[in-house]
A and B are shown apart, each in its own frame.
Chain A
Amino acid sequence: MVPEDCLYTEDHEWVYIEDEIATIGISEYAAGELGDIVYVELPDVGADVQQTDSIGTIEAVKTVAELFSPISGKVIEINDSLIDDPEIINRSPYEDGWFVKIEMNDKGELDNLLDFGKYQEFLGENH
């Protein structure tokens, strides 16, 4: 995914929209802040999730972060390769390091997210 084409949450998740399917990951900034990621927990395929629900955990050596769902819908695919090689997220946060794909319930929720420019502004102001 091209970072410029993604939408973002203030928790540093990115969302890439293709038709009704949202692919979700964490931004390069978040991956860098967490440092070496050593373990991830992902939701079950088929799970119904609400916007802002915690749908996974990301364990780095020194810290742990939750993955919050940027949108509501049904989990249709998870990135299994992260289970055995979570460092993919550090190496390729926008491509191979995606976490889950969610079939969206309500495209209107996307209005709550930041576009790339707004996210950069947010990073500039807060970090």
Chain B
Amino acid sequence: MALKTPIYDSHVESGGKIVDFAGFMMPVSFEGIVAEHERVRTKVGLFDVSHMGEIEITGDSALEFADYAVTNSIAKLDDGQICYTVCCNEEGKILDDLLVYRFSASRILFVVNAVNVDKIYDHLLSIKKGDVEINNNSSITGQIAVQGPESRSLLIDSPFCASVAEKIKDLEYYHFLVFDYQGNEIILSRTGYTGELGYEIYLPWDLTDSIWNILLGKGKDLGAAPIGLGARDTLRFEPCYCLYGHEIDEETSPLEAGLSWVVKLKKGDFVGRGALVAEKEAKPARKLIGLQLEGRGIPRQGCNVLYDGEVVGKVTSGTFSPTLKKGLAMALVDRSLPKDASGLEIEIRGKLSPAVKVKMPFYQSHVND
């Protein structure tokens, strides 16, 4: 039986088309993926991301433990700062990608993918060390993402954020605020996965629906509307953000997936470090590239990529790009594929279609606007 987020009834009322995603009944689209996509690129959209997992680590060793559990450096963060990272297994393969919020050295929050909450929680318990308490708060924490060029105005004008309106104006990318709303702790971060200016709000499960409707009502004049998972995916695809189950999974290392920038091999020991040091030395087996078909059509996840008639890799994400109006793909291919390889082909439903390499990201993000 699939779970409902606290906003489920509002989604149905708004005409959301509901699908089962990671065990939750989630809206995949409202007015249509392309229209929703364009709304976020040009105005502002609201995403229900309450299905995401929140795992809190507290105690005197919280910082040390967090740094042991993930590949990026948490010690280097300021309090109130966030980083994107991955959590690897001993083999240096990716268990999940996540955001790490540093409240203080003794309070750290991991925000993980819905499909991986239980896996990561169990994993963290299995590698637990030092004075830490690990709490899975996923079922009591709702989450709303407000994304798009008008997102800042929407929040500043909202009565919900009245007490921190000035602070929101100054909030930098990958930083967060904590504030009180009617006796509840609210976390507001300048983060998102769309490539636009945007914010994410963490709040108590039971408060989520009422805040959703306040933001939506207040934001109507700015063009705010609910956005489904379909556009969430095309929005993250264009700036080439990795998605678990596509570019990254337990068969893939961060060095292959273009995520070396979140792997700090010199920060001290962490789970998977040994394997990643060895992999870096030997050079990763694969690399992530961008592809575009020369003709029409749309490459999809799982399609073979061929060079000189030989299969050299697979498409990890492929879709029609609503902004660029063409079919594009990210693909994991053999490292040996030449940088200037021409004559590439993608096998789509048994047919070979000529393809060319294109630079990633496909869309230049506006997160610093």
> Hey, which bits of chain A sit against chain B, CB under 8 A?
35-36, 38-39, 41, 57, 59-62, 64, 90
Contact = CB atoms under 8 A, between A and B. Distances in A.
A39 B327 contact: yes
Nearest to A36: B34
Contact of B320 (A41, A61, A90): A61
A39 B327 CA distance: 10
Given A35-B230, A38-B320, A61 B296 contact: no
In this complex, the interface size class of chain B, counting residues with CB under 8 Å from chain A, is 10 to 19
Nearest to B325: A38
Contacts, number: 40
Nearest to A83: B296
Contacts of A36: 32-35
30 contacts: A35-B29, A35-B32, A35-B33, A36-B32, A36-B33, A36-B34, A38-B34, A38-B320, A39-B296, A39-B297, A39-B327, A41-B297, A57-B349, A59-B297, A59-B298, A59-B320, A59-B327, A61-B33, A61-B34, A61-B230, A61-B234, A61-B319, A61-B320, A62-B28, A62-B33, A62-B230, A62-B234, A62-B319, A64-B298, A64-B300
Q: Summarize B's interface: helix, strand, loop or mixed.
A: mixed
Given A39-B297, A39-B327, 13 more contacts: A35-B33, A35-B230, A36-B33, A38-B34, A38-B298, A39-B298, A39-B320, A62-B28, A62-B230, A62-B234, A64-B298, A64-B300, A90-B32
Interface of B: 28-29, 32-35, 230, 233-234, 296-298, 300, 319-320, 322, 327, 349
B9 to A, nearest CB: 21
A2 to B, nearest CB: 25
Contacts of B230: 35, 61-62
Sorted from nearest, which 4 A-B pairs have the closest CB atoms? A38-B320, A36-B34, A61-B33, A61-B320
Contacts of B34: 36, 38, 61
Contacts of A59: 297-298, 320, 327
A62 B28 CA distance: 10
